[in-house]
Amino acid sequence: MAGKVVLVVGGGGREHALCMELKDSSHVGELHCAPGNAGTSFLATNHPITAADVDGLLNLANRVGADLVVAGPEAPLCAALADRLEAIGIPCFGPVAKLANLEGSKLHAKQVMRAANVPTAAFHVLSEGSDIEAALDDFAGNPWVVKRDVLAGGKGVVVTQDRNEARSFIQTSIQTDGQVLLEDFLPGEEASMLVIMDGSGFVCLPASQDHKRAYDGDEGPNTGGMGAYCPAPVVTDAVRQKAIDTIIEPMHEYLLAAETPYRGVLYVGLMIPESGEPNVVEFNVRFGDPECQITLPLLKTDVFEILEAASKDRLAELDVEFHDFFTATVVLAAEGYPASPVKGRLIHGVGQETIQSGDSTAWVNHAGTGFDVQGNLISTGGRGLSCSASGPTLAASVKLAYELIENIELEGSHYRKDIAFRAL
């Protein structure tokens, strides 16, 4: 049987990680990526079509004869990429638009959780004419959590102890979006659970923890994620089982009732209080970035087999196996990230090969990288790349990821020095 043709949509560290796994699969004969980055160009044929260009992606999938399309980011899914691929008979890993709305609208996600009886923070929906002061009073005593109901690339949430700041963000959001959510504050530690699901079942991948703030000690502005590690010990077996019983099974059940089953990965953002009873902070309809980079390598089962099965409601036929090592990744961010990253600078010290050190292995995941006209590696985005490693202990993987990043040069760049501090 000829090798399968796979198209990966997106161009970040997550998509480089997906391409690395798919390239390794004995089933995959041809790998394409749109738009990809410098890293994916060594593994796949890159095509200059952005993830937002759904028409372009459909044309490309047809032209290359894709057997499977793997959607990295949420935007094309919210814009009906999976629906339109289904209409032309091409399987897609990633849900149809109606289900992608779990990420597209935070209010919709809250309503679904309410309907499915899934634990999440209490909330008010505020719009023109709402009694904002009464709502603020309702959740007083803790920081206020205000969430815009739009895809805002991580910039739509304000958590503040300052009532004036909360009120003013509520008012401006109502003006621009028509409505806004005010949520009860949940104390605890955050973790990410990636759950692959389809109409036949679901598979929970080992839970990870991301570091969303730009600077050490979880200080500074929110980012897309500055580093992550897996498995995260805060998700004990008991917490994991609670999450399955109270969140994942009810969500899977709820989504089964949809016209088209959820075929893809549901990213469950958890808040774990001291009691160990997890709550949902957010859903995403895609792999996390950088969580993907450190979660996929823990799969012993061929990743193509898993993604393809989930795109065809055959997940329940697979017996998915995991490695028992640990992984960590540290993101190298451009000067000025996240506010205004400087792009176009040369990057030195990045190799293609994986590096072996005792029982540990390290590799670079490219994110915002490309080539200049001379073919030199340059940065093209805020998060340039992430240095990843696996090892027999979390400490070993973290140590090797740092050894790797210390040898990479990008003028003005910064990275966090404390990835995995909560677990170490």
By CB atoms closer than 10 A (0-12, 13-18, 19+), residue 188 is middle
Query: Cα(398)–Cα(388) distance, rounded to whole angstroms?
Result: 8
Name the one range near ligand GLY by CB under 6 A: 129-137, 175-183, 286-294, 347-355.
Answer: 286-294
Quick one: which of 15, 83, 190, 291 contacts ligand GLY (CB under 6 A)? 291
- The residue (of 107 and 395) whose beta carbon lies closer to ligand AMP is 107
Q: Which of residues 185-214 bind ligand GLY (CB under 6 A)?
A: 210
Residue written as token pair 């990295």? 72
Task: Report what 183 binds from ligand GLY, ligand AMP, none; CB cut-off 5-8 Å by kind.
Answer: ligand AMP
Task: Report what 190 binds from ligand GLY, ligand AMP, none; CB cut-off 5-8 Å by kind.
Answer: ligand AMP
Q: Which of residues 54-113 bind ligand AMP (CB under 6 A)?
A: none
Name the one range near ligand GLY by CB under 6 A: 104-112, 287-295, 366-374, 411-419.
Answer: 287-295
- The residue (of 284 and 361) whose beta carbon lies closer to ligand GLY is 284
Rounded to 5°, the CA angle 20-24-25 comes to 120
* Least Cβ distance, residue 91 to ligand GLY (angstroms): 24
Query: Cα(47)–Cα(19) distance, rounded to whole angstroms?
Result: 14
Query: Cα(250)–Cα(418) distance, rounded to whole angstroms?
Result: 36
- The residue (of 224 and 384) whose beta carbon lies closer to ligand GLY is 224
* Least Cβ distance, residue 308 to ligand AMP (angstroms): 30
* Least Cβ distance, residue 227 to ligand GLY (angstroms): 10
Q: How many residues bind ligand AMP (CB under 6 A)?
A: 13
What binding mask, one character per residue, do residues 211-240 give for ligand GLY by CB under 6 A, x or -? -------------xx---------------
* Least Cβ distance, residue 156 to ligand AMP (angstroms): 7
* Least Cβ distance, residue 208 to ligand GLY (angstroms): 9
Task: Report what 74 binds from ligand AMP, ligand GLY, none; CB cut-off 5-8 Å by kind.
Answer: none
Query: Cα(156)–Cα(158) distance, rounded to whole angstroms?
Result: 7
Provide the angle, in degrees to the nearest 10, between the axes of the packed helices 303-311 and 13-24: 100
CA dihedral in degrees (18, 20, 26, 32; nearest 10)? 70
Task: Report what 289 binds from ligand AMP, ligand GLY, none; CB cut-off 5-8 Å by kind.
Answer: ligand GLY
Query: Cα(232)–Cα(239) distance, rounded to whole angstroms?
Result: 11
Query: Cα(103)–Cα(106) distance, rounded to whole angstroms?
Result: 6
Query: Cα(46)–Cα(302) distance, rounded to whole angstroms?
Result: 23
- The residue (of 108 and 312) whose beta carbon lies closer to ligand AMP is 108
| Residue 38 host element (H or E) | helix 38-41
Provide the angle, in degrees to the nearest 10, between the axes of the packed helices 97-104 and 106-116: 100
Residue 14 contacts residue 5 (beta carbons within 8 Å): no
Q: Which of residues 124-163 bind ligand AMP (CB under 6 A)?
A: 145, 147, 157, 159
The helix/strand/coil state of 113 is helix
Rounded to 5°, the CA angle 153-14-377 comes to 100
Residues in the chain: 424
190 forms part of the interface with ligand AMP (CB under 6 A): yes
Question: Which positions touch ligand GLY (CB under 6 A)?
Answer: 210, 224-225, 284, 288-289, 291
Which chain residues interact with ligand AMP by CB under 6 A? 121, 145, 147, 157, 159, 183, 185-186, 190, 212, 269, 281-282
